Amino acid sequence: MIVKGKIYILILFVLFIHTVNRTFAQMDSVAKANWILADTTMRQEVRTKRAMELIDKSITHPDAINSSYAWYTRGLIYKEWYKTFEKQNKKSKTRLDAVEFLKKALSLDKSQGRPIAIENKIEYNGNIYLVTDVYNAANIKTALKYIGSRFQNDAVYMLDTINYQAAIQNYEKFKECMLIADPKYNFRSTEMEFKTALADQYGNLFLNNIKTNKQFLKEAESTYKAVITLDTNYFNAIHGLALLYYNYGVDIINSMPLDVPIMEVDKIQDEARTNFRKALPYALKAYALKPKKKEVLIALQGIYFSLYEFEKSDVFKARLDKLPK
Amino acid sequence: MRKGIAILIALFCLSADWVRMPVFQEPNISNSKIKAIFLYNFTKYINWPDKYKEGNFVIGILGTSPFYNDLNTLIHGRADNEKEIKKDSKKKVGNQEFEIKNFLNIESITGTCHILFIPADHSADLPEVLKKMKGKSTLIVTEKAGLARQGAAINFVIENNKQRFELNKINIEKYNLKVSSTLEALAIKVE
């Protein structure tokens, strides 16, 4: 009875090995791509390029196309290329590809978090090697976290009035990668920082030409306000919104031509005053949060000055003068 | 260790770069701009005697007010510290080119002056200025409450958080100047 049971287990084991070997028999070239990548006798650029070429070719095989291991390998090789040769390229296509391949690997993953050893026979330089590769889904998440952090870095560096759209795309990719790697990732503070910085850029775009770039005023306002909704005491957004309204008011006046008809001056002043008044509660809130911040005192001094409330302006000027130099 | 340092550097770069304070614009220039626009417009709605329609159109500023430089920049497009007459000025009153003059004190007010602006901190000089300008067709503009009743033709005031101006028609006509009904309608009338 015991012998019969042992034979049964042995048959199951042989069947398992057979199945694994069959499943991965077509994976030899996938494993070979990994092997090439690790071959330090070649220059890194050469071996990585060759590994990419081989994995690109292998992935089209019917067995590979639905293999988590194949996409995982492809994603990691692409990530390696990006990391070594394209890290400075903020619009790297290889990085985007790596993300897609790693996502595909995760979508096909059935390992339930357990590392799987994969044996393959590969032919390399005329020799046959039996290699054991380890498929570990955790590595996919680590790679996505790394790529995500690079997207975030690039979003930061690209956030200006020219590249802001690319910065948004990079930021979204950062979020996408991090969410896959860690569904519980807390974006709150990063989100507030990024959106405030983005709103600043929208504000700059608007103030570059308040007549033609009006759409950026709305973008800036709504982006700052979205941050303030997340945290009603978020200083940078509150201060930024105050400055947006204030600077708009100043620009309304400064963009008046000298020979503007005198009948229109009052109306233009009304429009500017509306913005100075809008700026005031946000500037006061910023002051309540950071009463000794130089920029806040300058803003309040300027807003009250622009509203011709000179006594109040002087109060903040005096507070500013009292700050340690 | 290296990885740790790299993360620290990355974090520093992140925090340093996300936080970019928007630029704050100087409010004084916009305040000067409105006054300059009013002054410029006064030249359209006030009529000077014929003998004042030759040569440059002179706007004088009493004392060392920053408004002198602001007005120069606004009218001529650049600061005029040398007090030279701008040849490239496009803004004109009829055929007359603008000339902005800085009179450091009352004694230095000489020659023709179409508009004389007395900044707030020189308001106390108004009675003496009035004596000096007697018989001349100079539009005297001030910026302190009550001065339109003390001899100024036009006085800048703040009303409801806006720059406005008081106009004393009698004081204008005393200097042989004529004011248009349009300007009167826009002003706060003072008698």
Q: How confident is the model at residue A124 (pLDDT cuts 50, 70, 90)?
A: confident
Would the pTM of this model clear 0.90, i.e. be above it?
A: no
Reference B178, options B47, B63, B49, B11; nearest CA is B47
Cβ of A156 and B26 within 8 Å?
no
Q: Which residues from B are below 8 Å from A258, CB to CB?
A: 36-37, 40, 74-75, 91
How does pLDDT run across A202-223, given as a tens digit for each residue? 999 999 988 899 999 999 999 9
Helix (H, G, I), strand (E, B) or coil at A176: helix
Q: Which residues from B are below 8 Å from A303, CB to CB?
A: 27
Q: How far apart are CA A244 and CA A233, in angstroms?
A: 18
Number of domains chain A contains: 2
Query: Do the beta carbons of residue A106 and residue A136 sit within 8 Å?
Result: no
Nearest beta carbon to residue A156 from set B18, B38, B41? B18
Nearest CA-CA distance, residue A162 and chain B, Å: 15
Q: How far apart are CA A215 and CA A202, in angstroms?
A: 9
Which pLDDT does position A27 carry in this prediction? 66
Whether A275 maps to a domain, the answer reads yes
Is A283 near chain B, with CB under 8 Å? no
Nearest beta carbon to residue B24 from set A159, A299, A309? A299
| Domain end call among A145, A178, A211 | A145
Give the amino acid at A121.
K
Q: How confident is the model at residue A47 (pLDDT cuts 50, 70, 90)?
A: very high
List the domain range (segments joined by +) for residue A278: 191-322
Which pLDDT does position B87 carry in this prediction? 43
List all residues of chain B from 127 to 156 with a beta carbon under 8 Å from chain A: none
Cβ of A247 and B29 within 8 Å?
no
Is A148 near chain B, with CB under 8 Å? no
Q: How far apart are CA A147 and CA A129, in angstroms?
A: 32
Mutate to test the interface with B, among A163, A262, A269, A308 (most CBs of B within 10 A): A262
Q: How far apart are CA A221 and CA A216, in angstroms?
A: 8
How does pLDDT run across A158-177, given as a tens digit for each residue? 999 999 999 999 999 999 99
Is B91 near chain A, with CB under 8 Å? yes
Cβ of A240 and B22 within 8 Å?
yes
Cβ of A156 and B14 within 8 Å?
yes
Minimum CA–CA partner of A194 in chain B:
B18
Whether A211 maps to a domain, the answer reads yes
Q: How far apart are CA A41 and CA A59, in angstroms?
A: 25
Q: How far apart are CA B184 and CA B103, in angstroms?
A: 29
Average pLDDT over residues A271-296: 97
Nearest CA-CA distance, residue A310 and chain B, Å: 10
Minimum CA–CA partner of B93 in chain A:
A259
Whether A183 maps to a domain, the answer reads no
> Kind and range of the H or E element at B189?
strand B188-189
Cβ of A253 and B30 within 8 Å?
yes
Whether A168 maps to a domain, the answer reads no
Q: How confident is the model at residue B162 (pLDDT cuts 50, 70, 90)?
A: very high
Whether A57 maps to a domain, the answer reads yes
Whether A69 maps to a domain, the answer reads yes
List all residues of chain A from 197 to 226 with a beta carbon under 8 Å from chain B: 197, 200, 203-204
Minimum CA–CA partner of B73 in chain A:
A258
**Are both A115 and A35 inside the same structural domain?**
yes
Q: What is the CATH number of the domain that holds A216?
A: 1.25.40.10
Query: Which two tokens mark A191?
Result: 């989100």
Q: How confident is the model at residue B18 (pLDDT cuts 50, 70, 90)?
A: low
Q: How far apart are CA A203 and CA B21, in angstroms?
A: 11
Helix (H, G, I), strand (E, B) or coil at A307: coil
**Are both A109 and A199 inside the same structural domain?**
no
Helices (H), chain A: 2-25, 28-37, 44-58, 62-65, 68-85, 93-108, 137-158, 164-181, 188-208, 214-230, 235-254, 262-289, 294-306, 310-322
Crossing angle for the helix pair A68-85 and A28-37, to the nearest 10 degrees: 20
Q: Give me the phi and psi of B80, to 5 degrees please.
A: -125, 85
Helix (H, G, I), strand (E, B) or coil at B166: strand
Domain at B26-189: CATH architecture: 3-Layer(aba) Sandwich (3.40)
Q: Give me the phi and psi of A235, to 5 degrees please.
A: -55, -50
- Residue written as token pair 């308040």: A210
Whether A167 maps to a domain, the answer reads no
Q: How far apart are CA B72 and CA B62, in angstroms?
A: 14
Q: How far apart are CA A224 and CA A234, in angstroms?
A: 10
Cβ within 8 Å of residue A88, ≥6 positions away: none
Give the amino acid at A62.
P
Cβ within 8 Å of residue A12, ≥6 positions away: none
Q: How far apart are CA A130 and CA B104, in angstroms?
A: 97
Cβ of B17 and A159 within 8 Å?
yes
Domain ranges of chain B: 26-189
Least confident of A288-292, B88-92, B175-179: B88-92
| Domain end call among A109, A128, A145 | A145
